[in-house]
Chains A and B, each alone.
Chain A
């Protein structure tokens, strides 16, 4: 097995900047840089993580522990201040489904646009179009503008596009709560199917009952550091112990 994701000693500082205006920055410079224009904190602090191909890993932790930030580093949306991230093959995120949707376009246009944003070629989208529509259960509404969709329909279509992108590495951030229960089950079944196919999965979820169904390995993050890396049941146990 080859390494799919290699995160070595990455740190990321976030700036809590209060100003967005040139004037304030200039005044600050003219006053001899007195005081702090901004506050900083570590979102990720010396995090290392190696994921083999075909593994499914859950990132666990409380809000603000750096899970989503870590996913953004793996997807390339963010780059680390220090350390390095390496990935093999195409990485696609099921991160906030529907980010690339536009309300004034039809479902069909959105499938093409979002598919292309997620890295599919024109040919791939054409081939998978029927499958995408079928999975989403949108049916004849595919040529309706997305703004007239119910929120469930919207998310279903978005999820459907995302799972059809067929990358080597899937990043899944809190999307298991999509749509009504039957559709949720369908989504989870699809994700399990992807894992069984040997895709690499990195999952962020607060649904602690669901996670062991999908992942074997759990990584517990605490204030931007890796607190535990091992079997998912143990990680969940630790997280629950912390909370109580």
Chain B
């Protein structure tokens, strides 16, 4: 018998590090979500293409054609879509992560497992759904004469990481507090509605700068999602244009590090809150 093993306190995890140790379980949880999502539907994973596709057409018609934004912005369709897919990723990831603890309550109440797995799995699932959309974007880019530099591709990856980290951090935070007060589900919904409009997805960043002035614009710009969206524009949309559009100043040198740092801080806060609260999950659910 294994007397060499130490007496340990049960139910004490090591936070996000556990999700790496339990990556097999994480993989199974992600696969379960993917299988269950489109169960019994004929189109299956194709829905992951259809939904953003329709969303894109609606926005393009309403904003690009009717409001005339595509007259001011070169390749407005690509501009729009490169932002939308990132917002979609974030919205889905955070929305599901915030509900993941309550949703898996029956399991959490009965069996101990690293509970961080659930929000993290939600983010992974959204990441899987992000890929078909990215593919559509890249096809659209190629048809519009896309010629990105290596730096721009690397920037896109970094932008995605910023959003994924932010979604994980906020997902941990809201997932945990939602156990205590279910109001937070609605707060998250509200937040997600604002997110779409708080970043230059549908409009152009210069409009914000001209209206807000430099001081407030810095506040607007400090939002990691805004930074990531602008980076996606820089990586996908900008190389399809004639290169005359104005890019936000110091995007790569200043704002990308700011976005990474803010997202990291949010992740740390989320993890900290989660660990403070997780001890009482089983009795509160």
Contact = CB atoms under 8 A, between A and B. Distances in A.
Interface of A: 2-3, 6, 14-15, 20-23, 25, 53-54, 72-79, 84-89, 91, 93, 95-96, 99-100, 102, 104-105, 109, 112-113, 116-119, 121-122, 168, 198
Given A21-B181, A109-B35, A53 B12 contact: no
B36 A102 contact: yes
B36 A85 contact: no
A79 B279 contact: yes
Interface residues of B, number: 36
B110 A53 contact: no
Contacts of B24: 116, 121-122
Given A76-B10, A112-B28, A20 B112 contact: no
B182 A198 contact: no
Interface string B21-40: 01011001100100110010
B35 A74 contact: no
Given A25-B181, A168-B1, A78 B282 contact: yes
Given A88-B2, A105-B32, 18 more contacts: A2-B1, A25-B181, A72-B282, A77-B110, A79-B11, A86-B8, A87-B8, A91-B10, A93-B111, A99-B107, A102-B32, A102-B36, A104-B36, A105-B36, A113-B28, A117-B25, A117-B107, A168-B5
Nearest to A76: B11
B5 to A, nearest CB: 5
A86 B9 contact: yes
B106 A99 contact: yes
Given A76-B11, A79-B11, A86-B7, A100 B35 contact: no
Contacts of A116: 22, 24-25, 28
Nearest to A118: B111
A77 B113 CA distance: 8
A23 B112 contact: no
Contacts, number: 107
A54 B1 CA distance: 9
Interface string B58-99: 000000000000000000000000000000000000000000
B5 A88 contact: yes
B183 interface: yes
Contacts of B11: 75-79
B149 interface: no
B10 A75 contact: yes
A68 B194 CA distance: 44
Contact of B107 (A14, A74, A100, A168): A100
A87 B111 contact: no
B181 A20 contact: yes
Q: Per DSSP, are chain B's interface residues mostly helix, strand or loop, or mixed?
A: loop
Contact of B183 (A15, A23, A88, A89): A23
B244 interface: no
11 contacts: A6-B7, A20-B182, A72-B282, A73-B10, A85-B10, A104-B39, A109-B32, A116-B25, A117-B111, A168-B5, A198-B1
Nearest to A84: B9
Nearest to B110: A99
B250 interface: no
Given A22-B181, A86-B7, A87-B10, A76 B112 contact: yes
A80 to B, nearest CB: 9
A148 to B, nearest CB: 13
A119 B22 CA distance: 9
B7 to A, nearest CB: 4
Contact of A105 (B1, B9, B35, B112): B35
B6 interface: yes
Contacts of A105: 32, 35-36
A78 B182 contact: no
A100 B108 CA distance: 9
A159 B62 CA distance: 56
Contacts of A168: 1-2, 5
Nearest to A24: B181
A171 to B, nearest CB: 10
A3 B7 contact: yes
B242 interface: no
Q: Which 10 pairs from chain A and chain B are nearest by CB?
A: A76-B11, A76-B10, A76-B112, A86-B7, A116-B25, A22-B183, A99-B110, A2-B3, A79-B279, A77-B282
A214 to B, nearest CB: 19
A78 B280 CA distance: 7
Contacts of B22: 116
B185 to A, nearest CB: 11
A87 B7 contact: yes
A95 to B, nearest CB: 5
A87 B11 CA distance: 10
B9 A85 contact: yes
B283 interface: yes
